[in-house]
A and B are shown apart, each in its own frame.
Chain A
């Protein structure tokens, strides 16, 4: 059931869903598959009862052509978990989504109290190795939501962490800013983003057009920060990233250049989200499959984003 639904910026909405008490445990990196249309639209009778059809009075009518009721989005849409909580009223999850099409537009119009139909949690999770303690969260645009949830988990695990947040422009950044802590224009981390500050994380904001924070790409902020780390600190660090492919790829190579481990949260068009349709493939390095090789000789095989991922070790991704 929808508990909150409001815009975070010009394009992104935050949706909080109250879940049944038995909803399974979740972890950052995991996602849900949301049906972007009314639950059991085919079975509802209110529309038909308004018409004069011949049937026993009071008896619900089954439509002949349920699909014409207008479920425009057929397949479910995948969304990363942006947060999870359990309180006296039971569990809830949050997603943050960008309105890009029919499904996300439908979601943006949900009202508090509406029901939605979801499957999840699906997929694997970010790994928090025991021998590490510094998280560098790099989220670009619509890749930010899983970072909010990760921040929550890192705080609980006692890690230190810094968030790097990038967007094209200020009004496309899906965050709540703390007006008393303006983001630095020189890439100095500050407690300016509430979604991270509430878990104790400082944030570096970059925008492509310089309308907020440091002007440039997100990797610019990350580069400046990595330079300030001692070799020992780099040993302790893990980069976690999600966003457009180009951004993740640049982040991964930056991390590799500084000898820092990196985990990427991949996106691919999905139908089932459960490992059956084979639609959501990414190329992942695999020495056990020597017959398929990249131009530079790396053996690879297709892995499924939905069940083998979405989180992968960045070194193993064969970027296309």
Chain B
């Protein structure tokens, strides 16, 4: 420990933060920096424009879009829990048609200012996903589609994102339906026993990039009413509380699946400060998304950039790729956490 920090300080003498490049190449998706918004926490486009300089983002990720508009769940839809929040929004969104007509032009303007555009797509059947994803990918301004697979398939009730076979099929069919140069990101659900299985299935299906993680299923209880606090019963847990869980999953998937296959990871789950972002980078993520922390401060991803530059300079690294996955893990044999 001591040696490492001394070395870091010495190395910093030669390198200043302005010499550090934060540019990343995610499977051909070139970003000026790794910072992105997480789907569902930043609206469709420019809702935060008054509160943050969105042009400085590496990429902007939209709310999940579905083929048909969805009104979403009843209120209460959110509740804060220790270090995080539960949400059960229910994928409320304007639907594909309104998205294309009203929101896409705003995204086009945003893209002209810098960030890449990633549209998140959700569905409840193969057909939902295929129609929405292929239609959106025809728009040249869309650099990548991110699949939100944390939804049940209406025909058999299985959740796409927790069933490797279903997931592989979905990814393959969507990949085939996309504009060839439109990247396909598969957003993994953490609500599985072994996330390397679904990660592997997504990669076999043809995912260009993995993003992880979506929210963890959770529940909060009003003990006097003896009812759940969310009208929906359960919700998805996000925010700082989930960061250690998410970092462990990124580390595992990086080693077991992503690195061998050469597939980049976009890491997320509780990123609020640059230190959090660095944890994900070291664990193996090369892109980084901020969700819940945007509610606290919409400029969070941009504030983090300065911290990342300083950190790399302190280590004497000129580019981000030098630290991605550089975490050393104790022992490589099988271990029991307890």
Interface residue? A23 (CB, 8 A): no
A191 → chain B closest CB, angstroms: 39
Q: How many residues of B contact A (CB 8 A)?
A: 39
Give the residue name and chain of the A residue nearest to B42 (CB): A276
- Looking at the complex, which of A56-64, A175-183, A246-254 is the stretch in contact with chain B? A56-64
Across the interface, do B89 and A278 meet the contact criterion of CB distance under 8 Å? yes
Across the interface, do A63 and B47 meet the contact criterion of CB distance under 8 Å? no
A165 → chain B closest CB, angstroms: 28
Q: For A228, list chain B residues within 8 Å (CB).
A: none
Interface residue? A272 (CB, 8 A): yes
Across the interface, do A301 and B71 meet the contact criterion of CB distance under 8 Å? yes
B293 → chain A closest CB, angstroms: 9
B232 → chain A closest CB, angstroms: 12
Q: For A73, list chain B residues within 8 Å (CB).
A: 80
A-contact 0/1 string along B265-277, CB 8 Å cutoff: 0000000111100
Across the interface, do B275 and A66 meet the contact criterion of CB distance under 8 Å? yes
Interface residue? B206 (CB, 8 A): no
Give residues 201-250 of A contacting B (CB, 8 Å): none
Nearest 4 A/B pairs, CB to CB: A276-B43, A279-B78, A279-B77, A272-B295
Q: For A74, list chain B residues within 8 Å (CB).
A: 80, 83-85, 239-240, 292, 296
Across the interface, do B48 and A274 meet the contact criterion of CB distance under 8 Å? yes
Q: Would A269 and B78 be within 8 Å (CB), given that A74-B240, A302-B92 are in contact?
A: yes
Q: Which of A67, A74, A269, A280 has the most CB of B within 10 A?
A: A74
Q: For A280, list chain B residues within 8 Å (CB).
A: 75, 77
Q: For A62, list chain B residues within 8 Å (CB).
A: 274-275, 307
Interface residue? A184 (CB, 8 A): no
- 16 CB < 8 A contacts A-B: A54-B2, A62-B274, A63-B275, A67-B272, A74-B85, A75-B85, A271-B78, A271-B292, A272-B295, A274-B43, A277-B40, A277-B41, A278-B40, A278-B72, A279-B77, A281-B72
Q: For B239, list chain A residues within 8 Å (CB).
A: 74
Across the interface, do A119 and B51 meet the contact criterion of CB distance under 8 Å? yes
Give the residue name and chain of the B residue nearest to A300 (CB): B71
Give the residue name and chain of the A residue nearest to B6 (CB): A54
Across the interface, do B294 and A269 meet the contact criterion of CB distance under 8 Å? no
Across the interface, do B77 and A278 meet the contact criterion of CB distance under 8 Å? yes
Give the residue name and chain of the A residue nearest to B37 (CB): A276
Q: For A63, list chain B residues within 8 Å (CB).
A: 275
Across the interface, do A302 and B275 meet the contact criterion of CB distance under 8 Å? no
B301 → chain A closest CB, angstroms: 14
Q: For A281, list chain B residues within 8 Å (CB).
A: 72, 75, 77, 92
Give the residue name and chain of the B residue nearest to A102 (CB): B80
B-contact 0/1 string along A281-299, CB 8 Å cutoff: 1100000000010000000
B124 → chain A closest CB, angstroms: 17
Interface residue? A76 (CB, 8 A): yes
B292 → chain A closest CB, angstroms: 7
Q: For B294, list chain A residues within 8 Å (CB).
A: 272, 276
A308 → chain B closest CB, angstroms: 13
Q: Which of B43, B75, B83, B92 has the most CB of A within 10 A?
A: B75
Q: For A272, list chain B residues within 8 Å (CB).
A: 41, 294-295
Question: Cα distance A55–B307 when bound, in Å?
Answer: 17
- B77 contact from A55, A269, A274, Cβ within 8 A: A269
Give the residue name and chain of the B residue nearest to A59 (CB): B9
Q: Which of B6, B77, B89, B294 has the most CB of A within 10 A?
A: B77
Q: For B40, list chain A residues within 8 Å (CB).
A: 277-278
Q: For A292, list chain B residues within 8 Å (CB).
A: 71
Question: Cα distance A249–B10 when bound, in Å?
Answer: 67
Q: For B292, list chain A residues within 8 Å (CB).
A: 74, 271
Q: For A42, list chain B residues within 8 Å (CB).
A: 272-273
Interface residue? B115 (CB, 8 A): no
B297 → chain A closest CB, angstroms: 8
Across the interface, do A277 and B295 meet the contact criterion of CB distance under 8 Å? yes
Q: For B87, list chain A residues within 8 Å (CB).
A: 271, 277, 279
Across the interface, do A274 and B296 meet the contact criterion of CB distance under 8 Å? no
B210 → chain A closest CB, angstroms: 24
Interface residue? B298 (CB, 8 A): yes
Interface residue? B228 (CB, 8 A): no
B68 → chain A closest CB, angstroms: 11
Q: For B41, list chain A residues within 8 Å (CB).
A: 272, 276-277
B87 → chain A closest CB, angstroms: 7
B283 → chain A closest CB, angstroms: 15
Q: For B163, list chain A residues within 8 Å (CB).
A: none
Interface residue? A275 (CB, 8 A): yes
Q: For A274, list chain B residues within 8 Å (CB).
A: 43, 47-48, 51, 298
Interface residue? A45 (CB, 8 A): no
A-contact 0/1 string along B6-49, CB 8 Å cutoff: 10010000000000000000000000000000001111000110
